[in-house]
Amino acid sequence: MSAMLFFLCLMTAVGLGDAAALDHRQASSSSVPDYFQTTPEIYAGPTKTAEIAPFLAQTNSAPFGTASFAPNAPLETGYAIPGNTNNSNIFEMMGQLSSYFPNPVGFGVDEYHLPPNANITTANLLHRHGARYPTGDSSVSSFGSKVENITQNGTATWTGGLSFLNTWKYTLGAEILVARGRQELFDSGVLFYYNYGHLYNTSTKLISRTTTQDRMLKSAEYFMAGFFGLEWTQNATLETIIEQSGFNNSLAGYYQCNNSNNYRSTGGNNASVVWENIYLANATTRFRALSGDYNWTVADSYNAQTLCPYETVAYGYSNWCNLFTYEEWQGFEYSIDLQFQGNDGFLSPTGRGVGIGYVEELYARLQGHLYNLAPGATNVNRTLDTVETTFPLNQSLYMDFSHDTNIYSILTAFGMTQFSDQLANDTITPNRNVTVSHITPFGARVVWEQITTPQPLKAQRPTSTNATMSDFYDQGNTTHYIHMTIGQRTVPLGYSYPECAMRDDGWCEMSTYLNHLGGLLEQARYDYSCFGNYSTNGWLNVTDGVPATKRGLDLGLKPLGGGMGSGLEMKRSSDSGMYQI
In 3D, which of 55, 143, 105, 186 has the Cα closest to residue 451? 55
Does residue 119 belong to the site contacting ligand NAG (CB under 6 A)?
Answer: yes
CB nearer ligand NAG, residue 181 or residue 226: 226
Instruction: Determine if 108 is a binding residue for ligand NAG (CB under 6 A).
Output: yes
Can residue 462 be called a binding residue for ligand NAG (CB under 6 A)? Answer: yes
Residues 6+ apart with CB under 8 A from 524: 352, 353, 355, 356, 359, 378, 413, 545, 546
Site string for ligand NAG, 527-566 (x = CB under 6 A): ----------xxxxx------xx-----x-------x---
The reply on whether position 263 binds ligand NAG by CB under 6 A is no
Q: Helix (H, G, I), strand (E, B), or coil: what is residue 408?
A: helix
Q: Given the rule CB under 6 A, which of 21-29, 92-100, 162-170, 326-334 is the region that contacts ligand NAG?
A: 326-334
Residue 144's closest CA among 121, 174, 110? 174
Closer residue to ligand NAG in complex, CB, 188/248: 248
Does 141 sit near ligand NAG (CB under 6 A)? no
Q: By CB under 6 A, is residue 150 in contact with ligand NAG?
A: yes
Contacts to ligand NAG from residues 272-291, by CB under 6 A: 274, 279, 282
d(CA 487, CA 441): 9
- H helix or E strand, kind and range, residue 449: strand 445-453
The distance of closest approach from Cβ of residue 479 to ligand NAG in the complex, given in angstroms and rounded to an integer, is 8
The one segment of 87-95, 314-322, 392-400, 420-428 that binds ligand NAG by CB under 6 A: 420-428
Cα dihedral 97, 98, 101, 102 sign: negative
127: CB partners within 8 A, 6+ apart = 185, 188, 219, 223, 399, 400, 401, 402, 443, 444, 445, 446
Nearer to ligand NAG, 71 or 376 (CB): 376
Single out the residue of 58, 420, 437, 440 in contact with ligand NAG (rule: CB under 6 A): 420
Per CB under 6 A, does 295 bind ligand NAG? yes
- What's the closest the beta carbon of residue 390 comes to ligand NAG, in angstroms? 8
Q: How far is the CB of 48 from ligand NAG (least distance, A)?
A: 11
Q: Which residues contact 136 (CB under 8 A, 6 or more apart)?
A: 174, 175
Q: How far is the CB of 194 from ligand NAG (least distance, A)?
A: 12
- What is the Cα–Cα distance from 216 to 222, expressed in whole angstroms? 10
Residue 484 in contact with ligand NAG, rule: CB under 6 A: no
Residue 344 phi, psi dihedral angles, 5° rounding:
-130, -5
For CA atoms 142, 144, 149, 150, give the dihedral sign: positive
- Which residue number, 131 or 271, has a Cβ lying nearer to ligand NAG? 271
Residue 271 touches ligand NAG, criterion: CB under 6 A = yes
Least CB distance to ligand NAG at residue 151 (A): 9
| 149 near ligand NAG, rule: CB under 6 A | yes
Q: Are 333 and 287 in contact (CB under 8 A)?
A: no
Does residue 59 interact with ligand NAG by CB under 6 A? Answer: no
Write the CA distances from 285 to 294, 413, 458, integer angstroms.
Answer: 12, 41, 57
Binding segment for ligand NAG (CB under 6 A), chosen from 89-97, 313-321, 451-459, 482-490, is 451-459
**Which of 294, 442 has the CB closer to ligand NAG?**
294
Residues 6+ apart with CB under 8 A from 497: 415, 508, 512, 513, 516
The burial of 432, by beta-carbon neighbours within 10 Å (0-12 exposed, 13-18 middle, 19 or more buried), is given as: middle
Tell me phi and psi for residue 339, to 5 degrees. Answer: -60, -50
For strand 119-128 and strand 397-402, is the pairing parallel, antiparallel, or unpaired?
parallel
According to CB under 6 A, which one of 63, 71, 82, 145 is a site residue for ligand NAG?
145
Binding-site member from 495, 497, 507, 534 for ligand NAG (CB under 6 A): 495
Is 155 a binding residue for ligand NAG by CB under 6 A? The answer is: yes
Q: Closest Cα partner for 94 from 332, 287, 398, 355?
A: 332
The residue at minimum Cβ distance from ligand NAG is: 108
Q: State how far the alpha carbon of 321 is from the alpha carbons of 79, 488, 535, in Å.
A: 8, 28, 39
Site string for ligand NAG, 66-105 (x = CB under 6 A): ----------------------------------------
CA atoms of 326 and 472, how far apart (whole Å): 47
Closest to ligand NAG by CB, 28 vs 386, is 386
**155 vs 512, which CB is nearer to ligand NAG?**
155
Closest CB to ligand NAG among residues 36, 247? 247
| 314 touches ligand NAG by CB under 6 A | no
Binding flag, residue 237, ligand NAG (CB under 6 A): no
Of 202 and 367, which CB lies nearer to ligand NAG in the complex structure? Answer: 202
| Least separation in angstroms between CB 81 and ligand NAG | 12
Of the candidates 72, 98, 213, 248, which one interacts with ligand NAG according to CB under 6 A? 248
How far is residue 184's CA from residue 129's CA, in Å, rounded to a whole number?
A: 8
**Any contact of residue 454 with ligand NAG (CB under 6 A)?**
yes
Q: How many residues bind ligand NAG (CB under 6 A)?
A: 63
Cα–chain-centroid distance for residue 38?
A: 35
Eight-class DSSP state of 236: E
Contact 280, 328 (CB under 8 A): yes
Q: Tabulate helix, strand, coil % of the chain (nearest 5).
A: 40, 10, 50
Residues at the site binding ligand NAG, with contacts judged by CB under 6 A: 107-108, 117-119, 142, 145-146, 149-150, 153, 155, 200, 202, 228, 234-235, 242, 247-248, 270-271, 274, 279, 282, 295, 297, 325, 327-328, 331, 381, 383-384, 418, 420-421, 425, 433, 452-454, 458, 460, 462-463, 465-466, 469, 475-478, 495, 537-541, 548-549, 555, 563
